Amino acid sequence: MEHAHTDLPNLHRPLPPSPKTVADLMTSPPVSAESDESLAAAASRMSDHGVGSVLVLAGSRLAGILTERDLVRAGAAGADPSTATVGDWMTADPDSVGPDVEVVDAWRSLVAHGYRHIPVIEGDEVRGVVSIRDLVRVAQLRPVDGVFTDVPRGLEGVVAAETAVGSVRGVEGFYHYRQYSAIELAKRRSFEDVWHLLFDGELAGPDDAAGFATEVAPLRALPVGVARLLPQLVSAAGGAPPLDQLRTAVSLLGTAEGFQATRDLGRSEIRRDALRVCAVIPTLVAALWRTGRGEEAVEPREGLGFSANYLNMLFGEEPSAAHARAIERYLISTIDHGLNASTFTARVVTSTGADVAAAVVAGIAALSGPLHGGAPSRALDTLDAIGTPDRIDAFIREAVERGDRIMGFGHRVYKTLDPRSEMMREIAEELGGPLVDFAEQVEQTVVAVLDEMKPGRRLYTNVEFYAGVVMELCGIPRELFTPTFAVSRAVGWCAHLLEQAADNRIIRPSSRYVGPPAPQPVPELASVAPPAAEHDPSHRTKLAGRRPYPKNSRARRSNIETDICSDSTSTRSSSPWNIVVN
């Protein structure tokens, strides 16, 4: 696939789909050489074919790769290209990628290792070579000035925001909040301390921590009007998942408390609303769940920390210190994790100037998708399906043969051990029990079977695998696993929306049209008689007696002022009717 860099593409025909894997981009068959050939001969072949490397073959086996960079090194060392051989300057036994590797993963591999070219191998067969130039053609972003933007599907690897909240370094297996390791924070600090860090930018000392706890504690209680309506919400929901009920309840909260558009507020006011939402979400989750079970909601209790209070509101009794601390570490570890789907969604909504509750509701909606927030319970469902230790090996092998996804394994970002999973395994081992032993047997078997059946495709447990085990051991029902995730992630969403609102520009990307060429003539239809009502004098008489707008409506004709903007970033209209067409 080639892209013109100077001429606009033909807008009258659909563009071909973007490459997805290395096979779509690689040079195949590759230009090759033998190790005893001269550098001059190899360089001439590279020039003739317009490539930056040759693969060095020993029979049909890949022995090495010689690149333009190697030729430069040889020249700098004073080597005679007519007598120096390819074998003297090639990189022997080079790393390789498979043809089915996604473009973004190949890009990351080249960047991480400093390569400019990498062979493509399938089994023992040399299929081709892919260069960083090939990948740049797909990864680059061009201005939206009539030229279409080419990015990887799912925006993977695309930088869409600058943030000081935290980041994920997937190749290293590390992530952090502000400047601190998230795992170290989970092990050493309270939930409230990390919440303060993400909202206010610094870890609280003893005095600040006490002050923050005092600020948050009264915000946990439900507004009387909202509490009164929750039974009706649960009844109307008709058994809908608790996360869906939470979404509606947060929207109700924002309306009941009169949250205003973030565009009209200063940081302190946005922070106030964000604190309120984050503090009350655990109360909402517990109240909705208990109401659905026919039980009375439990009020927040003074003197209990964030996680202990959550468990107390769920079960009506103070949790053990071990359970409270186990859940607290889980909650801290899941507050934020880069620009994931729900966090990006919350930032997009905030970029429109919407209120805090609207952004959090949008985050909850994104989290409701099983590809984002539903895996902890699904991982436990897998353990249930396996049943007993003697069935582990056969179950996993059959799943791999069918190409099924093994829930709780693999991650979109991490290419090594998920640090959250390691910590959750440690917590599970602290709690102990047959379920922990069984989960560890399953983990070991999955890794071993994949090494055997899919060499080179090693998968590791992600946070959901042992998180499900820990929550099960602490008594949290599976239908509350994802709402519990939302309890912590709401703090991350709000940290991001505070950041977005502080330096805002509406997030407005473009799409790449791939439909039929336009414009085309609109087909003529047979003549159709106008509706009979238009010819009915009595109908006109009825209409004449109606008010054009409801009495006392804000929409009276005399009060309407419309501000139609061609650019959504234009200055705000002074009219209460600021209608933006975009």
> What proportion of the chain, given as a percentage, has pLDDT over 90?
51
- The pLDDT, as a whole number, for residue 375 is 58
Considering the domain 22-139, what is its CATH architecture? Answer: Roll (3.10)
Lookup result for tokens 């977005």: 500
Eight-class DSSP state of 155 = G
Distance set, CA 215 to CA 156, 185, 224, 247, 272 (Å): 39, 21, 20, 25, 10
Report the predicted TM-score, pTM, of the whole model to 2 decimal places.
0.67
The one-letter amino acid code at 139 reads A
- The pLDDT, as a whole number, for residue 406 is 76
Q: Residue 88 in contact with residue 65, Cβ under 8 Å?
A: no
> Any idea of the CA torsion for 421, 425, 428, 429, to the nearest 10 degrees?
-170
Q: Pairing mode, if any, of strands 32-33 and 53-58?
A: parallel
- The pLDDT, as a whole number, for residue 570 is 35
Catalytic residues: 411, 464
- The pLDDT, as a whole number, for residue 566 is 34
Tokens of 163: 């943030």
Q: Where do the H-state alpha helices sit in 201-354?
A: 206-216, 224-237, 242-256, 267-292, 306-315, 321-333, 341-351
Q: Report which of 26, 29, 64, 31 is spatially closest to residue 46, judged by C-alpha positions.
A: 31
Tokens of 307: 């996680």
The one-letter amino acid code at 388 reads T
Q: Pairing mode, if any, of strands 174-177 and 180-181?
A: antiparallel
CA distance 34 to 58: 7
Helix axes 463-473, 481-502, angle to 10 degrees: 120
Per-domain residue ranges of the chain: 22-139, 553-582
Lookup result for tokens 């930056």: 52
CA distance 455 to 451: 5
pLDDT digit string (tens) for the chain, length 582 residues: 333 333 333 333 333 444 578 888 888 899 999 999 999 999 999 888 888 899 999 888 899 999 988 887 788 778 889 999 999 999 988 888 898 888 777 777 776 677 888 899 988 889 999 887 776 655 444 343 434 445 677 887 788 889 999 998 877 888 999 999 999 999 999 999 999 999 999 998 988 999 999 999 999 999 999 999 999 999 999 989 999 999 999 999 999 999 999 999 999 999 999 999 999 999 999 999 999 999 999 999 999 999 999 999 999 999 999 999 999 999 999 999 999 999 999 999 999 999 999 999 999 999 998 888 765 677 888 888 899 999 888 988 888 888 777 776 765 555 567 888 889 999 999 999 999 999 999 888 888 887 777 776 666 777 778 899 999 999 999 999 999 999 999 999 999 999 999 999 999 988 888 899 989 999 999 876 665 555 555 544 444 444 444 444 333 333 333 332 333 333 333 333 333 333
pLDDT digits (tens, 9 = 90+) for 427-449: 999 999 999 999 999 888 888 88
Residue 455, preceding peptide bond in cis (omega within 30° of 0)? no
The one-letter amino acid code at 390 reads D
- The pLDDT, as a whole number, for residue 544 is 46
CA distance 85 to 127: 24
